[in-house]
Amino acid sequence: MLPRLWLSPLVLLLTAQVWAAEPPPLQPQLAGATDQIIVKLRPTAQRSMMFSAETQVEAAIANVGLGIPASYERSMGGNAHVVQLPGTMSVQEAQDYATLLRTDPDVEYAEPDQLMFPTADITPNDPQFLSQWHYGSANADGGAANLPAAWGEVTNAPEIVVAVVDTGVLDHPDLSARLLGGQAATSGYDFVNTPARANDGDGRDNNPSDPGDWISATDAADSAFSGCSVRNSSWHGTHVAGTVGAVSNNAEGVAGVAWNAKILMARGMGKCGGYLSDISDAIRWSSGETINGVPNPNPAKVINLSLGGSGSCGSTYQNAIDAATARGAAVVVAAGNSNQNVSTHRPANCNNVIAVTALARTGGKASFSNTGEGVDIAAPGVSILSTLNGGKTTPTDQHTYAAYHGTSMATPHVSGVIALMLAANPHLRDGSIPASEIPALLEQKLKASARLFVTGTGNDCSTALCGAGALDAYRAVMSVKTPPLAQAGANQNVSMGAGVTLQGTGTAGGYGGNIRQYHWQQTAGVPVALSNNTAANPTFVAPATADTLAFRLTVTNDVGLTATSVTNVTVGATPISTSVCDPAVLNNAETLTGQWAAGCASQHRGSGFHARYYRFTLAMAATVKFDLKSSKQDAYLYLLAGDQTTSSVLASNDDSNGTTDSQLVRNLPAGTYVLEATTYAAGRAGEFTISATLATAPTTQNSCDPSAVALGATTNGQWETCAARKRGSTYFAGYYRFTLTQAATVTIDLKSDQQDTFLYLLNGSSADSSVLASNDDSNGSTNSQIKRTLAAGTYTLEATTYYRQKTGAFSVTVK
């Protein structure tokens, strides 16, 4: 006999609560468009006296041209101005136009004047929604799935087919409209092959209605149902289907997780469970495979298996699951209700499934839940209110609601959230990403977006027990909806025939995001051959004629969303230096001789000090050693973060290794830098040498692991190589950990005289912990401060910068 699969134990609790309806909020119909640009001019007093701000803005518009007849609209606070576009543009088009405006030397910044809208949280008007604690915010209940915020992000979405492989389904006024075909009898297929177990008078047929799975005393005595005790019908499939997608915001009953779901029923269980052979066929059919001549015209993108039994996965299950995922269906499975390791429970222990365990309302582990390394995520599974039938054995016309416990109830929360994710991003449905890759991608996003487990529940979850974290619907939706960020780099001025590197960078966007592709396209100027137009930093040789070359960078993330940015490379003749202050070119492994004399005053040491300047360009990130030596004077060396003599200071050195020479060793990203070679004493002259050498390895290692910071003490740091987790991979960061033995009000200061700072306070001991608070520019300065009352525990700081790829020294104080 084939193995028999048993439903998880269920606990029944009827609940009901009436609640007044609330109208849905305004929907942002134009969230992705604008017809205005904000422009701020650079503060130049002399020019401001000669021309009005309106004239200067119009001149910048004229310089850009492009055939776009934009016009000056009005001034605004902060000395900025509004430019009216000739019509509505997408935000990306407006951003491209703003990028071109910023190339005007008179423009300090330009950005789209984007429309904003009320917070998009949606609270449905279903009377018993307030009894569905499991849908609310984690701020109220630690185990809740945070759905109202997610619903606000997925409006007017297409219908996603979710298959429920279960005991079948019944018509219910709060569910039928979401069933395929609009009623239980036409919502899918009945795969229960044995008539006695099917309990509907025959075997397999095209009616997946649930006739009831009660066990009478006579049934219990029958060897066919041995092991099953006397009980009433569970209406399990109807309850699970209601959680996936009960009709929501209809002023009736309860809400479902996925308002956009269409539920496909594949009946695989009847009286006393269901056979593996029937359930595996139901899985295959649900994903679009024709079974025994029966096609499925509505293949599911998600398959919910709120079922299971003991034993190893086995070939039948694994082959069916692999076939379904290869067609692009995510398979979501209950971990089981035996309070054991999930490795003993199938199909949760199969490969290529998303195994779900249950959380209690507190956010702790539900006492009955299976746990272990095989669990992928945890979701609400205690007192889950959903649709049911009032019949004790056979169905009646009494359409009810009841609260059940079980990992069977947690699983449809995850299936519904995956349906929301699929609805939120068309690239997950349009074939641009191979179907076979989508289930694993959805699982990765789901786990990356999960919340940290709450502590102090008395039965706490951990990643070793309950998977990656607690299901968070909003974060999950945003993990597939957040577009990437593209930066094509600053405009460059180069000589004819010079080697050029395009400085593209990208941030993937969303939780657990990755960049799938960079793509460069030349849009103007003499055509050049890029070394690799799918690399972030392709190179080319500038043409032998003067011209302005325009390039567009498109960044695509792993869920198919794109962002673009543009940059210009102006090619001209090699300039002839007319001033001893103009930077000379210093190449790798090159030593140049210089002379300090009058005619060039130091920009950073002071006007009484003589200086010479050198420009150094890195094609890729590297550790560089700069040496300034002189037998005539005490040398002083500055490294500047840009290609101008007035650029900000990254680092400086005097008297390296006990000598009067100076040396800097620094890990630098690709880009152009300037060295200021000056002297320790004012008015001194004489000869010197300066050299640059790429080191084989960094002299110092900048670890991303958080270091301890003592309360009341100041710790110094250096931004060099560690990529920021919260600010983004193109920002440098330092991490610090402090512990409070009791609740206290803490003031955290991040200061730097070299960079504009940005500070995050994280709720835990890891650099990946969730953000509690952040701050930029406290008290009108470029320093940052957070003052917060905190409970006893360990916290982490991310000390980072406001601008991308900026380095320099900083200090952190926690008191």
Residues recognised as catalytic? 166, 236, 408
Count of other CB atoms within 10 angstroms of residue 339 = 12
Q: What residues form DSSP beta bridges with 746?
A: 788
Q: What does the DSSP assignment read for 251-309?
A: SSS---S-TTEEEEEEE--BTTBEEHHHHHHHHHHHTT--BTTB--SS--SEEEE--BE
Q: Which helix (H) or strand (E) holds 388?
A: strand 384-389
Q: Which long-range contacts (CB under 8 A, 24 or more apart) does 140-143 make?
A: 141/361, 141/362, 141/363, 142/359, 142/361, 142/362, 142/363, 142/364, 142/454, 142/457, 142/470, 143/359, 143/360, 143/361, 143/362, 143/363, 143/364, 143/378, 143/380, 143/382, 143/454, 143/470
CA angle 138, 445, 410 (to 5 degrees): 50
Q: Which of 134, 145, 139, 149 is nearest to 361 (CA)?
A: 134
3-class secondary-structure state, position 436: helix
For residues 257 and 147, the answer to whether their CB atoms sit within 8 Å is yes
For residues 209 and 217, the answer to whether their CB atoms sit within 8 Å is no
Q: Which helix (H) or strand (E) holds 72?
A: strand 71-76
Helix-then-strand count for the chain, H and E: 13, 44
CA angle 703, 705, 706 (to 5 degrees): 120
For residues 243 and 255, the answer to whether their CB atoms sit within 8 Å is no
Buried b (16+ CB within 10 A) or exposed e, 345-365: bbbbbbeebbbbbbbbbbbbb
As a whole number of angstroms, the distance between CA 255 and CA 22 comes to 14
As a whole number of angstroms, the distance between CA 416 and CA 412 comes to 6
Q: Which helix (H) or strand (E) holds 478?
A: helix 473-481
As a whole number of angstroms, the distance between CA 509 and CA 799 comes to 20
The two three-digit tokens of residue 641, written as one number: 């973060």
The two three-digit tokens of residue 355, written as one number: 């195994």
The two three-digit tokens of residue 755, written as one number: 């960079």
CA distances from 440 to 12, 380, 443 (A): 34, 22, 5
Q: At what angle do helices 53-64 and 91-101 cross, to 10 degrees?
A: 110
Q: For 630, how many CA atoms within 13 A lie in the half-sphere containing its CB?
A: 23
DSSP at 53: H
Query: Is the C-alpha dihedral spanning 337, 340, 342, 344 positive or negative?
Result: negative
